Amino acid sequence: MTILDEIETEAWHILTSIYTHQRLVEGLAKSPTRFELANQLVALNALLEMLVIRIARLADKRKDARSVSMLLKRGSFRGSSVDVKEAAEKFLSLAEPVLKMRHEQIAHMKLGTLSSYEPQDLPAEAIRATESLVDLIDIARGQPLSYTYRVGSMEPVIDLRASLAAGEMVAA
């Protein structure tokens, strides 16, 4: 598996986390018991933290980290090197606020930063960084990729990319 394959897989996980977070928020009002509501609140916040962590690790600039920086240094791709570098720099720039969230709110709990029990909205910065990451992968692959999610043979195939853009479930 190449570094580009690994980043593409990570992008799928990020898109799936965003999709799942959005669907859980929609279902909050339908929670039949307080215990189920409380469980959904915990799951929502855990998904949000995982989303931030996944984006932040792709923006890591250490030499030994499997990241976008490593893709630029060691990766092979079909797209133009100049275009890939430009798209990577855009992702890294858009991921900066997400890195700050990771450092201050999740990893190190900056003084005065409290964990929340109430569901948190998906940060716009995380959405923009994700869109940029998907664009980077398309450029590196030389073609747009589809990201789908299917939980079983009787359920529809979900287009994660279109769902991200629409903010709601979009069947493939």
What is this structure's pTM? 0.91
Length of the chain in residues, anyone?
172
pLDDT in tens, 82-111: 999 999 999 999 999 999 999 888 877 666
Q: What is the 3-state secondary structure (H, E, C) of 34-89?
A: HHHHHHHHHHHHHHHHHHHHHHHHHCCCCCCCCCHHHHHHHCCCCCCHHHHHHHHH
Torsion of CA 98, 137, 127, 158, to 10 degrees: -140
Contact 56, 95 (CB under 8 A): yes
What are the extents of the domains in the chain?
3-166
- Rg, the chain, Cα only: 17
pLDDT in tens, 139-153: 999 999 999 999 999
Which two structure tokens, joined as six digits, stand for 123? 């940060």
Q: What pLDDT is recorded for position 108?
A: 74
